Structure 1
Amino acid sequence: MERALRRNRGLAFLFDLDGTLVDSVYQHVLAWREATQAAGIELPVWRIHRQIGMSGGLMLAALSRETGRSLSKQDVERIQGVHAEVYAKQAPSLRVLPGALELLDALRTHRVPHAIATSGRLQSARHALRLLKLSTDVPIITRDDVRFAKPDPDLFLAAAKRLRVPMNRCVIVGDSVWDLLAARRAFALSVGLLSGGYGREELERAGAYRVYQDPGELLQHLDEVGLRISASTASS
């Protein structure tokens, strides 16, 4: 294990949350649909899903552009408030994605620095975070902590800064094209997961170095991103 620690020294993992570690994307989609409908905006679910992963404000701006309806600051705040309320009601249906807890446990066991960087505000993110059983030394960066959320790189830059690891030693793991675009803008290596609903080709075009089904498959292939942890050692 000491040899593994020396080889992995300096490498860190920065994780998105929804769709990457926790199966919560579609709960967000349905909450946004109900919130936009309450504001008189009718949108098919697939259009909302395509925007999940970026900040709520930026997402509403994109949806506003598509519908041709302008939204005031008050409209945006009202829609975001309804989204938070509806999403909170769906919190009992959230589940950890396959292999997520095992992956985080392997990183913790081998003392590999890692952090969470989510475009969601803590008010909503706390429901998913609670399922991960994170140790207190794992930094959590939310929309509340930065000026701009994804696809801007601010969340990942803040997470790397908290870990005191340069971006060129970070592996960013996300499920949406917005995660991977933010990773490219941060000049970091990125890994895509299919567990958020985006296709393999979309994630690869957005800059993913590797694409895996879910956290569990990533755990089985950590050597492909430069981390020397065997599957047997990680699960023991």
Structure 2
Amino acid sequence: MHIEPAFLFDLDGTLVDSVYQHVLAWKTALDAEGIEISVWRIHRKIGMSGGLFTHQLLRETEVEIDPERMERLRWRHAEAYRRYAGDINALPGARKLLAWLAESAIPWAIATSGRMETAAVNLAALDVDPRQTIVITRDQVKYAKPDPDLFLAAAARLETPIENAFVVGDSIWDMLAATRCRALGVGLLSGGYGSDELRQAGAVRVYEDPADLLFHIDELGGR
């Protein structure tokens, strides 16, 4: 019996070209708090949960980040990110890929470490209505990536076993989360991570972007 796969998509850098806007927004927020950190170090953390982000900041900068400051950073980041809304676009092939999956009756959902306050900007760029699509955000789970909660919640909403799902993401945090919940990780290069990094974190296949994934969809059991 053929079991149709389900696709669980990360958002930033996977469906929407927004990774560097997040990096700049975090840099703006950190600068406002007087926390010095290089841009490349911020990029390496995009995709993980905000809690882990701040814990790593503590290790790298030895700056005290109490809950009040953490909330202020989150607010400053969201405010700065919204200013980039006009520069954020869907990645090549993203809309076509989602439309193809819908037309083929292949279930899919979006699971993002971002909260809805920033995810809403990306969904608008993607022409996805969260009222008509399954979208799991950081607000809805206890832990974000690299914990698998986001993807487990998305699979549960689709009523599909997580073992039947492909987790599609652009960062090592997506691939680590996929491995932890026994889904198959599919990496995309559109967020800035390299092919070797994604494979070492658990990706079974790596493609350039959503358009390239759609071109090779037969490799993933799409019919």
Aligning the two structures, in what range does the TM-score lie when normalised by the shorter sequence?
Answer: over 0.9
Look up the equivalent residue of 1:177 and give its one-letter code: I
Farther off after superposition, 58-67 or 175-184: 58-67
**TM-score normalised to the size of structure 1?**
0.91
Where does the alignment leave 5 or more consecutive residues of structure 2 unmatched?
A: none
SS at 1:173's partner residue? Answer: strand
Contact 2:4/2:221 (<8 A) preserved: no
For the residues of structure 2 that align with 1:88 and 1:210, how far apart are their CA atoms? 33
Paired residue for 2:151? 156
- If you compute each CA radius of gyration, which structure gives the higher value, 1 or 2? 1
SS at 1:191's partner residue? Answer: strand
Determine if the alignment matches structure 1 residue 35 to structure 2 residue 62: no
For the residues of structure 1 that align with 2:133 and 2:220, how far apart are their CA atoms? 21
For the residues of structure 2 that align with 1:58 and 1:99, how far apart are their CA atoms? 31
Paired residue for 1:94? 88
Deviation at 1:180, TM superposition (A): 0.5
For the residues of structure 2 that align with 1:33 and 1:201, how far apart are their CA atoms? 27
Deviation at 1:69, TM superposition (A): 1.4
Deviation at 1:227, TM superposition (A): 1.4
What are the Cα deviations for residues 88-142 of structure 1, in whole angstroms up to 9, with x where unaligned?
0011100110000110010010010000000000011000011222365421000
Paired residue for 1:208? 203
SS at 2:84's partner residue? Answer: helix
Among 68, 76, 79, the alignment partner of 1:82 is 76
RMSD: 1.2
Where does the alignment leave 5 or more consecutive residues of structure 1 unmatched?
A: 1-5, 229-236
Paired residue for 2:111? 117
For the residues of structure 2 that align with 1:125 and 1:214, how far apart are their CA atoms? 19
Among 153, 160, 167, the alignment partner of 1:172 is 167
What are the Cα deviations for residues 34-57 of structure 1, in whole angstroms up to 9, with x where unaligned?
101111111110000000001122
Contact 2:185/2:205 (<8 A) preserved: yes
Look up the equivalent residue of 1:138 and give its one-letter code: T
SS at 1:209's partner residue? Answer: strand
**TM-score normalised to the size of structure 2?**
0.97
Among 123, 129, 144, the alignment partner of 2:123 is 129
Deviation at 1:146, TM superposition (A): 0.2
Q: Percent identity?
A: 57
What are the Cα deviations for residues 71-103 of structure 1, in whole angstroms up to 9, with x where unaligned?
100110011110000000011100110000110
Look up the equivalent residue of 1:179 and give its one-letter code: D
Alignment of 1:51-66 (within 5 A): 51-66=45-60
What are the Cα deviations for residues 146-192 of structure 1, in whole angstroms up to 9, with x where unaligned?
00000000000000000000011000000000000000011100100
Look up the equivalent residue of 1:17 and give its one-letter code: L
For the residues of structure 2 that align with 1:201 and 1:65, how far apart are their CA atoms? 26
For the residues of structure 2 that align with 1:138 and 1:190, how far apart are their CA atoms? 21
Contact 1:120/1:142 (<8 A) preserved: yes
For the residues of structure 1 that align with 2:123 and 2:49, how far apart are their CA atoms? 18
Question: How many pairs align?
Answer: 222
